[in-house]
Structure 1
Amino acid sequence: MLGKVLVAYGTTNGSTARIAEAVADVLNKEGLTAEALPARSVGSVEAYDAVVVGGGLYAGRWHRGARRFVRRHGRALAGRPLWFFSSGPLDASASERDIPPVPGVRRAMTRLHAKEHITFGGCLEEGAKGRIAQMIVRNGKGGDFRDFERIEEWALRISEEMRNC
């Protein structure tokens, strides 16, 4: 059984960070040792048996911090169990159907032999950073579309796979 898991994330307004923390919480409750960290703050993945990487989606691309993390640590990630998640749709679509990874994430999955990718709904609320984000909220298109029950179910699947390694 593998035991130490890094949940690295790229986020602008904190929505993806909260998802990463929920994943780490479930993994810890399941007996693993997991920590959620901003992707930009991770110097090495050598101390971890497995890695989960998440990024918010912005204009069809993963958050820059998640993209850079995957590039910077690619060689080490390729040798570990690896899962990806994205967050972003500002509607219920992510809970209603499988949303495939954006092209850049799909290429990274193939290159690094990631086990799985899942897309969760995003959250954009009053006080969001960025001109476009503020405009979206002002026009009534924001809200919190994260489905924490679905997030926890996915984290449980990861913990089961980890136990079987």
Structure 2
Amino acid sequence: MAYGSKHGATAGIAAEIGLTLRQDGFDAAVLPAGEVRDVSGYDAVILGGSLYAGHWHRDALRCAHRNADALTERPVWLFSSGPVDGSAEQEDLLPVPGAAREMERLHARGHVTFGGRVTSDTPGLLARLMVRRGTSGDYRNAEQIRDWTHQVAGELRRAA
């Protein structure tokens, strides 16, 4: 499990995915995508990236490119995190163009978008503006994350 996270919200989602996979009986490493150099030692990969202005996190994209040959040889799922509203819980959101291209290129088995988080602790001008306007919050849904991860675990079990 590798993730690209700017301010920690996506890292939190990745940690929840890793915990759920372990509870489902799988060994799961959770690593920042920028540190992942070789995925050939893993049977399957989940790669996630935060969303900013409609773009998938650069570290997630670079990880996908760096490991493209090995990723196409094993089951891969992608996730995004970012909407700072309830939209990710209300409907399946299409992946942003960068994630969609990686899905196709890597033959990913699926993609999901989870809600994101912007709070008063989030650095940056945009975050401060969102907090002032009352449009910030934590929209990560642990139950949704666990449910999706259980589905992935089920697919892995059936393929074994």
* Length-normalised TM-score, structure 2: 0.96
Among residues 20, 32, 50, which one is paired with 1:38 in the alignment?
Answer: 32
CA distance in 1, matches of 2:132, 2:47: 30
How far is 1:136 from its partner?
1.9
CA distance in 2, matches of 1:47, 1:134: 41
- Determine what percentage of the aligned residue pairs are the same residue: 47
CA distance in 2, matches of 1:15, 1:112: 25
1:129 corresponds to: 123
Contact persistence 2:37–2:63 (CA under 8 A): no
- 1:46-73 alpha-carbon deviations (Å, 9 max, x no partner): 1100000111100000011111111111
SS of residue matched to 1:129: coil
Show structure 2 runs of 5+ residues with no match: none
Contact persistence 2:2–2:60 (CA under 8 A): yes
Q: Which one has the bigger strand percentage?
A: 1
2:146 corresponds to: 152
* Length-normalised TM-score, structure 1: 0.93
How far is 1:76 from its partner?
0.9
1:3-152 map, 5 Å: 7-152=1-146
CA distance in 2, matches of 1:157, 1:120: 15
| Alignment: residue pair count | 159
Which aligned segments of 4 or more residues in structure 1 are displaced greater than 6 angstroms? none
